Amino acid sequence: CFGTARSRPRPRPQPMRCAAPSCSQRLLFRRRCRVRRWSTASSEGKEACGVGEPSGFAKRKWRKGGGRPPSHSPSAPPAPSPLCSGAASSSPLILRSIDCHAGGEPARVVVEGLPDIPGETMYEKRRYCMENLDHLRRLMLEEPRGYPCQNANWIVEPCSEEASYGYVILEQGKIYPLMSGHNTMCVATALLETGMIPMESETVEFKLEAPGGLVAIRAKCDPSRGTVDEVCIEGYPSFVALEGVPVQVPELGTVDVSIAYGGMWYVIVDAKALPSGPLDLRPENGGTIARLGEMIKIAAREQHPVNHPDLDYPGPDILVFTAEAHGPAEAAGAGAGGRRRDGLGAIRRRNTVVMSNGELVWSKPETWTGMLDRSPCGTGTCAVMAHLYSKGELELNQDFIHESVVDSVFTGRLLREVEVGGFKAVVPEIAGRAWVTAYTELFLDPTDPFPSGYTVGDIWAT
């Protein structure tokens, strides 16, 4: 199912020289997928789940030959089996994934075992997943198989002729972003390092298709080791919808925020300008950052709702605190996907993104919390760059270095101006690196008492 594995000679096992899996380990994973595809499931279960035949990512013949797979009509979706709908079944569910992290934030890239996902556009596929397969998102991201900061990406057939693969992004709180930078870095790395996209040179360019549209990828690779050293992404046009609007936050007071789109809708908050005093964006302050950020975000959503002018994507759905950079000169990721270029007039800032992992209820203070993105956040970087540009603090083609709460780094720049629904927007580019952390097979036995995950209030906002 991983395309080039048959044509590529298997190298002799090499001593481990780094944390990345050796070529022989990656090839073993590919061979297992080819030989053992759904070997433990009955043919009845496979057909009912719509995975009796390899799904879009596995049909590499149509990509090698330049053709496309048969499209799936959204008017006649395959009937889901009891297993896929979360009901009882005699067959186990097996999902195979490549687990990665980019800048410290994890993501599961699921390449096998998913039911058929119909839709004529990736946006329609996203909506189908939201309405019909959210129990599988919960299965993968919630306990006992996930944890609050886990993310997932489902590799599916693309709808555009230009794309090598499509992917649907899944996050906590039933959030299905149109785009995610760190998830895209993980997807591109997983596809390249498993051979699903051939790593034929030191620079590999291709396009992926996310629910928000095509994403141009330029990856710097080391074919001799089979690794990806940097993923550069051209993001979606980013713009500021609201600048400096007041938000009344219970028990906190008035907070001035801006709301910008960078692939998701971000509430942008100056960490040093809170009524409660400056907020230091360090890991040890994570509990306070998550609590204040979630409260401000929900209050902003209630008082200043926004929607994308071209897509039905309401917000804001995420928040970013911004601050002056901490350094150090060689932060984690710099020089290894960070592309540090301070000597060329780069701007360096620090940020922490707050995401939901439950539902905030104002009458229940125990729900006033969220979780922090461990990475510098790709779409957050795009939104922050657009905000700085609107204030005249960042120029086109000026390098922007973004630190995360754990000191990992993404870099970016703004390429050109465009217009989106009457808004003055900019097209961003971001770069970073992802690392493969595991090749996994996620099982759901039909007798498992937790077929769609669960949350507990000790670490979840439940």
180 belongs to the catalytic site: yes
Contact 243, 258 (CB under 8 A): yes
The catalytic residue among 180, 238, 356, 408 is: 180
Distance of alpha carbon 294 from alpha carbon 299, whole angstroms: 8
Three-class DSSP labels, 57-75: HHCCHHHHCCCCCCCCCCC
Distance of alpha carbon 139 from alpha carbon 442, whole angstroms: 9
**Residues contacting residue 427 through CB under 8 Å, at least 6 positions apart:** 234, 235, 236, 237, 238, 414, 415, 416, 417, 418
Please state, in angstroms and as integers, the Cα–Cα distance from residue 248 to each residue in 287, 293, 304, 354, following that order: 21, 13, 11, 18
Torsional class of 248: left (φ above 0), alpha (ψ -120 to 50), beta (otherwise): beta
Closest C-alpha to 141, from 111, 169, 180: 169
Distance of alpha carbon 264 from alpha carbon 116, whole angstroms: 26
Q: Which residues are catalytic?
A: 180
